[in-house]
A and B are shown apart, each in its own frame.
Chain A
């Protein structure tokens, strides 16, 4: 019983780390431009597909395919920002929701047209042999996910809190106009935010591809879970997105294992509705609801 719980806990952490990465991208975009991105899931999908193409079709080594996949997705993110967010800078939040939903639809089907409807696979980095640690069976890719996520979050913390670039990005997130008065190139900071968020999404896609495969319609489900994660953790908060993601991943996996596996996906949404009713600002929420 205990070992099953631990087993599920670890699996939950791994999928939670993925939710956290996607949610982090969403939170950063929200902090920068006060708008949500419903298409974030498609960047995950494209990231995975790009890497798969570089690896399977073009024949690059795994590590290079990963880098190229991330870069290609970042370029896509930059174009996306210029074409969608810049014209809609002063729109209402519903407008942005609808517009990014439209982009999500278009990108989902585009990926189907480009790569087909069948799920595609990316090779595992540490091989597929399950590692046995006492009573626990750890899928190696889960370990890769957890380690990668840890490195990523630590690196990000250093970047944001300890570098001047990070300070500028925080300033832009807190008060765009005053940041401009400081001489900060606000548009550049926003572009960097989008590049970084798309990169995060791509990494999430590449990390999860060996386990769940990549298929064109997986984006919307992922982005919804990621939104649940950011709302639970506190929308707009960076630690909130990370902890929220891990929380959702763990809870949904544990409930799926102990309560009901058929309704596993529902648990995240049940948590969502409870949080929205009881404490919409989540655990670390600082933004008022009106901003959304």
Chain B
């Protein structure tokens, strides 16, 4: 589904990613963990095309994305739910969801189908249903996160990448978010997750990569990493 080989990304002269390689197979939940500044967000930004990687190759469903614009990468079926929710503040909940389906609409999917998708999403998230005509800036942090995830799902992605979805949320909402991510996988979407909240993420995921200052320092089954005391102390804030 997703394959990174020896990918390096620079911010000006600073090298944020140093020849990292990772892959995500269909149906998996893979998590990227590591401290702040390790390069987790940069990895996702390189995959979704908002930043151009300088070396190596990134392939989504076998296609090399190095010459693609972000809008085309979404067209391949890869959706990036960015850090900090980034809902469109002056659009309503409904409008945010519809915008999520931009790629489908561009490719000719009928508005009526999209509207059906919107209804289904709102049914899944009763909080959002209650606020469907409200502008996104008026929603709480947790509601905005649900909206961002729902919006991402509207593109009917094959691969969904989420950047720190639990950030700033109360524990109950964190549980809810991870529950939703599990549902997403069960519905057939592959998930690449970036998380600071390592324990919860490792509980959910199949495999994990540990990132430190731009390099992959460990890779393996999520449960193993979770139970490896040394790793937990060394790399994870918890």
Check whether chain A touches chain B (CB < 8 angstroms).
Answer: yes
Residues of A within 8 A of B (CB): 164, 167-168, 170-171, 174-175, 177-186
The residues of A that contact B91 with a CB separation of less than 8 Å are: 167, 170-171, 174
Say which residue of B79, B90, B102, B111 sits within 8 Å of A184 (CB atoms).
B102
Question: Is B75 interfacial (CB-CB < 8 Å)?
Answer: yes
Chain B contact residues, majority secondary structure: helix
Query: Among the interface residues B70, B80, B89, B155, which one has the most CB atoms of the partner chain A within 10 A?
Result: B70
A178–B127 alpha-carbon span in the complex (Å): 23
Given A167-B95, A184-B102, do A178 and B88 touch, yes or no (CB 8 Å)?
A: yes
B118 to chain A, nearest CB (A): 13
Contacts of B105 in A (CB 8 A): 164
26 chain-A/chain-B pairs, Cβ below 8 angstroms = A167-B91, A167-B95, A168-B102, A171-B88, A171-B91, A171-B99, A174-B88, A174-B89, A174-B90, A175-B88, A177-B50, A178-B82, A179-B99, A180-B49, A180-B70, A181-B48, A181-B50, A181-B79, A181-B80, A182-B102, A182-B155, A183-B75, A183-B155, A184-B71, A184-B99, A186-B71
CB within 8 Å of A: which B67-111 residues: 69-71, 74-75, 79-80, 82, 86, 88-91, 95, 98-100, 102-103, 105-106, 111
How distant is the Cα of A75 from the Cα of B133 in the complex, in angstroms? 38
Rounded to whole angstroms, the CA-CA distance of A170 and B79 in the bound complex is: 20
Say whether A182 contacts B103, CB under 8 Å.
yes
Given A170-B88, A175-B89, A178-B82, 20 extra CB contacts under 8 A:
A164-B98, A164-B105, A167-B98, A170-B90, A170-B91, A171-B88, A171-B91, A174-B91, A177-B50, A179-B88, A180-B69, A180-B70, A180-B71, A181-B48, A181-B50, A181-B79, A182-B103, A183-B74, A184-B71, A184-B102
Kindly provide the distance from the CB of A185 to the nearest chain B CB, expressed in whole angstroms. 5
Return chain A residues, CB-CB under 8 Å to B70: 180-181
**Residues of A close to B98: CB separation below 8 A:** 164, 167
**Complex contacts, A183 vs chain B, CB 8 Å:** 71, 74-75, 102-103, 106, 155
- B148, closest chain A residue (CB): A178
Give the one of B71, B82, B106, B111 with max A CB within 10 A: B71
A175 touches which of B48, B75, B86, B95 (Cβ 8 Å) = B86
| Bound form: Cα–Cα A168–B50 in Å | 18
CB-CB nearest in chain A for B161: A181
- Complex contacts, B75 vs chain A, CB 8 Å: 183
What are the residues of chain B within 8 A of A184 when measuring CB–CB?
71, 99, 102
B71 / chain A contacts, CB cutoff of 8 Å: 180, 183-186
The 3 closest A-B pairs by CB, nearest first: A183-B103, A183-B74, A180-B70
> Quick one: which of A171, A177, A179, A182 has the most chain B CB within 10 A?
A182
Given contacts A164-B105, A177-B50, contact A182 B100 (CB under 8 A): yes
B74: A residues at CB distance < 8 A: 181-183
CB proximity of B58 to chain A, nearest CB, Å: 16
Q: Which of A168, A177, A185, A186 contacts B99 (CB 8 A)?
A: A168
A185's nearest neighbour on chain B, judged by CB, is B71
Minimum distance in angstroms from A113 CB to a CB of chain B: 39
Distance from B132 Cβ to chain A, minimum over Cβ atoms (Å): 15
How many Å from the CB of A4 to the closest CB on chain B? 42
Residues of B within 8 A of A178 (CB): 82, 86, 88
B107: nearest chain-A partner, CB-CB: A183
Name, among A170, A175, A178, A180, the residue most crowded by chain B CB atoms within 10 Å (CB to CB): A178
A168 to B100, CA, bound (A): 10
- CA–CA, A178 to B50, complex, Å? 9
Structural contact, A182 and B48, CB atoms closer than 8 A: no
> For residue B136, which residue of chain A has the nearest CB?
A174
Name the distance in Å between B158's Cβ and chain A's nearest Cβ: 14
